[in-house]
Amino acid sequence: MSHAQQHVLASAIVLAMLVVFCIHVFLFPMYTSTPPARHMKISAYEQALCRTNLKNNIRISASELRNNPCPKYGIVSAMQGGRLGNQIWEYASVWATARRTGLEPFMPRCILKTLEEHFENLSIPPLSYIGRCTLDVGQIVNSLSQWNSTEQNIIIPRHAAYWSLILVWLDDVRREFTFKPSLRLYAEKVLKRVAEKFNLFSPTYVSVHVRRTDYVDYLWQKLKTRPAPVSYYLSAMDYFAGKYSNVIFVITSDNIAWCKYNLRSKRHRISFVSENDGKGPGKDLAVLSACNHSIIDYGTYGSFGAILAAGETVVYNVTTYFSTLIADVLPNWRIMS
């Protein structure tokens, strides 16, 4: 290699290093400090939050699409996950997060569809109301704790239950989840029939919700916890029977056959009200909320039933699990093992 060639090579190396240095110092920070705007039509984004195909089974009226101003700031919404119990908490989490932040809440239609079959006073409009607007998907956070600018959207992940935020406005949450008249009537009828069966004019109704089936595996895999033993339900029942008079226990479950076999007790008045195989989750939830007091084990469904009933609640002790943690906040909830 000649001297001149060596000189050119050295210059090239220096130049290349300079370019790499400049990219790191000047260009990369541009990307990290302000993420590039990535706008997506909200109608398409709504579909991405849903498990089911919206086009096939949920129609939007033309009036829903016109004239709705696009939000000035970020919005709050949620991803659909789980069944009725999960979707209730997803909705309530959006409702409470919007109230705390002042951002506008919108729900994907798939979640609204699940809830509107049971409740009549839901105030959050569907995302399709602003379906023609765009959302900056580069500005999305999952929760209040990550949220630091009104430009950011809060999209609550599936299965989330932001319970501590929700419990701040309990009475308003209960008004939001007003059952449809047909379900209220159903619950009234069930309780009346139960009272007649035991010849009591004004009993104290204590609901017992027993979560079995898939939850037994879930508890073990997620929390390394075994399901609540039969003795838990029986001692919770003893507690209520000792405290109130004319108590009737109204038992609901996704596995009512298990309850009929295991929770028979000569000491107490017990009525099993669920249909087989956990059909009619909305009907059972209406019954839970019409009872005076509640015994639950764990999970989103039972804990929301107890919140709606607004009476004294006994919950099973699962350390650091959300349904147990609620008992530390609400004065009329107590933990038993």
Ligand X SMILES: *[C@@H]1O[C@H](CO)[C@@H](O)[C@H](O)[C@H]1NC(C)=O
Q: Which residues bind ligand X (CB under 6 A)?
A: 121, 123, 141, 146, 148, 175, 178, 191, 205, 290, 292, 317, 319, 335, 337
Tell me how far, at minimum, the Cβ of 116 lies from ligand X, in Å. Answer: 14
Beta strands in 117-236 (DSSP E): 134-136, 140-141, 153-156, 204-210
Tell me how far, at minimum, the Cβ of 294 lies from ligand X, in Å. Answer: 12
CA-CA-CA-CA torsion sign (151, 156, 157, 161): positive
Tokens representing 68 are 């709705």
Token pair 């997506």 is found at 40
- Minimum CB distance to ligand X smaller for 123 or for 182: 123
Cα 75 from Cα 141, distance rounded (Å): 11
Q: How many helices (H) and strands (E) does the chain have?
A: 16, 12
- Minimum CB distance to ligand X smaller for 145 or for 221: 145
Tell me how far, at minimum, the Cβ of 39 lies from ligand X, in Å. Answer: 18
- Minimum CB distance to ligand X smaller for 127 or for 287: 287
CA nearest 245: which of 306, 196, 201, 302? Answer: 201
CA-CA-CA-CA torsion sign (159, 164, 166, 170): positive
Is residue 80 within 8 A of residue 126, CB to CB? The reply is no
Is residue 140 packed enough to be buried (19+ CB in 10 Å), middle (13-18) or exposed (0-12)?
middle
- Minimum CB distance to ligand X smaller for 68 or for 317: 317
Beta strands at 39-41 and 134-136: parallel, antiparallel or unpaired: antiparallel
- Minimum CB distance to ligand X smaller for 50 or for 141: 141
Tell me how far, at minimum, the Cβ of 324 lies from ligand X, in Å. Answer: 8
Tell me how far, at minimum, the Cβ of 43 lies from ligand X, in Å. Answer: 25
Tell me how far, at minimum, the Cβ of 62 lies from ligand X, in Å. Answer: 26
- Minimum CB distance to ligand X smaller for 131 or for 227: 227
- Minimum CB distance to ligand X smaller for 10 or for 223: 223
Q: How many CB atoms lie within 10 A of CB 3?
A: 6
Tell me how far, at minimum, the Cβ of 104 lies from ligand X, in Å. Answer: 15
- Minimum CB distance to ligand X smaller for 54 or for 115: 115
Q: Residue 317: enclosing H or E segment and its boundaries? A: none
Tell me how far, at minimum, the Cβ of 20 lies from ligand X, in Å. Answer: 25
Cα 136 from Cα 230, distance rounded (Å): 51
Is residue 128 within 8 A of residue 106, CB to CB? The reply is no
